[in-house]
Amino acid sequence: MAAGGGKIDPMHQFEVQTLWQGFNLGGHQIAFTNSALWMCLAVVALVVFMAGGLSGRLVPNRWQMMVEGSARFVDNMLSANVGPEGKRYVPYVFSLFMFILFANLLGLLPLGLVGVHPFTFTSHFTVTGVLAVMSFSIVLIVGFWRHGLHFFSLFVPHGTPLWLIWLIPVIEFVSFMVRPFSLGLRLFVAMTAGHVLLEVLSGFVINSTNAGAGFGIGVGIPSFILMIGICALELLVAAIQAYVFALLTSLYINDAVNLH
């Protein structure tokens, strides 16, 4: 939170800051930023979560049940959307789902109370865009590897009238190429909007409290109560957005595998 003269900048929380200058590679400075730091923390948290749940006990504890339940959830999603061949894509989609989920949740931790400001790197389109391009690349690789040039038949839906054969493939192709953009944009917008709203409400609370008891009671308290509700909603959005990203990835993989 950046405050100056009583003003709070809701966009300051998204600023990428260099923590270590790093090194020069081919004329480009490779620096270690707060975004990279929180990516590493998300990976560490995910590894700890998985390691704690892979005890292999015959009677699983709660931690193991959470890990197995998460894996089963993704497995069922791929089985429902791709079919039996969906199991081979479980490791990737599961990793994608859990990484986004942990990234979203880490960014909501109230660490500002102890002077640590969490950074939600999924609120940057450069990050969500890379994740979307990764999924889109897998779709292209799987599609051409399995079907060769017949993969282009995806752009001519079954039952297309002959008099529309010149138009429908163009529309389908544009729709197909927009997929990585819309996939990354959806997650980016959802996470950014929620954090901006929380920052604005926190500004209402702080400024109204500083303005006096009357403003604090009339504006600050309702804003604080609304913040609590928005925080609960943001936890739900964090999980939903991770699920939507994984679900759309599985649907796109289904198109590559089954050419629907």
User: Band of the pLDDT at 6, cuts 50, 70, 90?
Assistant: low
> What 3-state DSSP class applies to 84?
helix
Give the model confidence (pLDDT) of 98-123 as tens digits: 999 999 999 888 877 677 888 999 99
**How far apart, in whole angstroms, are the C-alpha atoms of residue 82 and residue 74?**
12
**Residue 56: pLDDT band with limits 50, 70, 90:** low
Closest by CA position to 37, among listed 120, 100, 108: 120
pLDDT band, very low/low/confident/very high, at 63 (cuts 50, 70, 90): confident
Query: What confidence tens digit (pLDDT) does each residue in 158-188 have?
Result: 777 888 888 988 999 999 999 999 999 999 9
Of all residues in the chain, the percent with pLDDT exceeding 70 is 94
pLDDT in tens, 221-256: 888 888 888 888 999 999 999 999 999 999 999 999
Task: Please tell me the predicted confidence (pLDDT) of residue 163.
Answer: 84
What is the 3-state secondary structure of 211-258?
HCHHHHHHHHHHHHHHHHHHHHHHHHHHHHHHHHHHHHHHHHHHHHHH
**Per-residue pLDDT, 4:** 47
**Domain range list for the chain:** 72-258
pLDDT value at 1 more than 50: no
C-alpha distances out from residue 82 to 31, 95, 146, 216, 260, Å: 40, 17, 14, 54, 10
More confident residue, 246 or 59: 246
Residues 83 and 257: beta-carbon distance below 8 Å: yes
